[in-house]
Amino acid sequence: MKVAIIEDEKSIIDAVNIAFEFRWPGVKLVAAMTGRDGIALVKNESPDVTILDINLPDMSGFDVLKEIRKFSAVPLIILTVRSDDEDMLRGLEAGADDYIVKPFNYLTLLARVRAVLRRAEKTPIPNDQYTVISPRVRIDFVNQRVKVDNRLVRLTPVEYRLLVLLVKNKDIVVSHQRIMEEIWGKLFNGDTENIRIYVRRLRKKLQDSPPKFILSKHRSGYMFVS
Q: Which of 72-86, 101-115, 127-141 has the highest mean pLDDT?
A: 101-115
Domain holding 115, by residue range, is 2-121
Mean pLDDT calculated for residue range 119-127: 55
Residues 148, 70 within the same domain: no
Q: What pLDDT score was predicted for residue 84?
A: 63
Question: Distance between alpha carbon 30 and the CA centroid of its chain, in Å?
Answer: 20
Buried b (16+ CB within 10 A) or exposed e, 70-107: eebbbbbbbbbebeeeebbebbbebbbbbbbeeeeeee
Range 108-133 average pLDDT: 69
- pLDDT value, residue 128: 45
138 shares its domain with 70 = no
> Averaged over 190-202, what is the pLDDT?
87
The CATH number linked to 55 is 3.40.50.2300
- pLDDT of res. 43: 92
Express each pLDDT in 39-86 by its tens digit. 999 999 999 999 999 999 999 999 999 899 888 888 999 988 766 667
**pLDDT (mean) for 18-24:** 87
Query: If we measure between CA atoms, which residue out of 90, 101, 95 comes closest to residue 76?
Result: 95
| 205 and 149, same domain (yes or no) | yes
Quick one: 38 and 100 in the same domain?
yes
The SS3 assignment for 59 reads coil
pTM of the model: 0.63
| pLDDT of 4 strictly over 70 | yes
Percent of the chain scoring above 70 in pLDDT: 92
Our count of domains for the chain comes to 2
Helices (H) and strands (E) in the chain, counts: 8, 12
